[in-house]
């Protein structure tokens, strides 16, 4: 079963099990970042303050969302309906769906009394000579190069990847087969490439999915062999709103976390706790 379909089944189950608050607000960045600048994210905020981040820099996602005015008060949307659009062929719709799914997930975890940011993260010093990287993460590249690793970077816009010794650039995921470990951007959840990435990497390979867009329930990811999922719990929605209005950084509006099959209780336990 493809990842989007598994997510939709999970969303439907949640909708049948618990009351779900509606979307109160959708925050979008003020502008599209220029070439070489940081990536940008939007946020779905539910009526109870639960927040779901989503990446807005794939294709013309940000432009289309801004033009559709989904972020205006009059465009309030039902959370489950928005989340069930995961897997849409339209990138802007799929991106917003991931945001809604993430917000729904944060609502469920909080209601069940599970704080993902309070979990103990696994060690990051897993031995690996060749590390695959789906997406471009410059700080991580420098860290792994300092350890003597070779980096295989899969990036659809290879011009973003700085040429340097020890870094190989590819635009397709076939090269992941040669890697000992794979670090994957959560934007693959939006553009529908996650299943292809997992297949290309091969079985029984440590794969870490990271990024704010990975702040949803990780059950479908663990079922596909993903080793860990790194997301963020936004617990200061008021400060987030202010930061988005002024264009300031929003990283200190929440707490990052890393979930594994060992430190995450699972959907069954979460629902039983409500």
Strands 23-27 and 254-260: unpaired
CB 256 within 8 A of CB 234: no
- Least trusted range by pLDDT, from 11-20, 76-85, 231-240, 246-255: 76-85
pLDDT at 102 over 60: yes
Nearest to 10 by CA among 224, 235, 255: 224
Give per-residue pLDDT as tens, 55-66: 999 999 999 998
Widest pairwise Cα distance in the chain: 54
CA torsion sign, 124 to 130 to 136 to 138?
positive
Report how far residue 154's alpha carbon sits from residue 92's, in angstroms, rounded to the nearest whole number: 22
Report how far residue 269's alpha carbon sits from residue 274's, in angstroms, rounded to the nearest whole number: 9
Domain boundaries, the chain: 3-119+235-252
| Range 94-101 average pLDDT | 97
Residues of the chain above pLDDT 70, percent: 93
CA quadruple 241, 4, 84, 219: dihedral, nearest 10: -70
**Looking up tokens 């989340």, which residue turns up?**
83
Report how far residue 172's alpha carbon sits from residue 134's, in angstroms, rounded to the nearest whole number: 10
Is 246 or 70 the better-scoring residue by pLDDT? 246
Q: What is the pLDDT of residue 30?
A: 81
Q: What is the pLDDT of residue 121?
A: 77
Topology (CATH level 3) of domain 3-119+235-252: Enolase-like; domain 1 (3.30.390)
Sheet holding 150-154, edge to edge: 167-170, 150-154, 130-134, 181-185, 207-210, 228-234, 254-260
Q: What is the pLDDT of residue 36?
A: 47
Give per-residue pLDDT as tens, 152-192: 999 888 888 888 899 999 999 999 999 999 999 999 999 99
């Amino acid at each position: 079963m493809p990842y989007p379909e598994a997510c939709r089944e999970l969303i439907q189950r949640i909708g049948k099990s618990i009351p779900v608050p509606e979307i109160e607000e959708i925050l979008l960045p003020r502008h599209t970042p220029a070439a070489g600048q940081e990536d940008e994210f939007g946020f779905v905020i539910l009526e109870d303050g639960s927040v779901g981040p989503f990446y807005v820099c794939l294709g013309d996602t940000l432009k289309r969302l801004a033009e559709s005015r989904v972020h205006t008060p009059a465009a309030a949307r039902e959370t489950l309906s928005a989340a069930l659009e995961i897997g849409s062929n339209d990138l802007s719709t799929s991106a917003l769906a991931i945001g809604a799914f993430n917000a729904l997930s944060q609502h469920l975890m909080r209601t069940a009394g599970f704080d993902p940011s309070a979990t103990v993260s696994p060690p990051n010093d897993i031995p690996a000579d060749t590390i695959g990287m789906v997406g471009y993460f410059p700080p991580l590249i420098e860290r792994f190069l300092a350890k003597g690793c070779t980096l295989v970077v899969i990036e659809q816009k290879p011009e973003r990847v700085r040429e340097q010794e020890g870094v190989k650039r590819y635009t397709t995921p076939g090269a992941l087969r040669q890697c000992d470990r794979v670090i994957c951007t959560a934007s693959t959840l939006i553009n529908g490439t996650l299943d292809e990435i997992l297949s290309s990497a091969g079985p029984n390979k440590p794969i870490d999915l990271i990024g704010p867009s990975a702040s949803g329930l990780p059950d479908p990811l663990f079922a596909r062999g993903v080793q860990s999922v790194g997301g963020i719990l936004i617990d200061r929605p008021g400060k987030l709103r202010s930061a988005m209005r002024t264009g300031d950084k929003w990283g200190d509006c929440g707490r990052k976390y890393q979930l594994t099959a060992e430190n995450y209780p699972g959907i069954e336990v979460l629902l039983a706790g409500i």
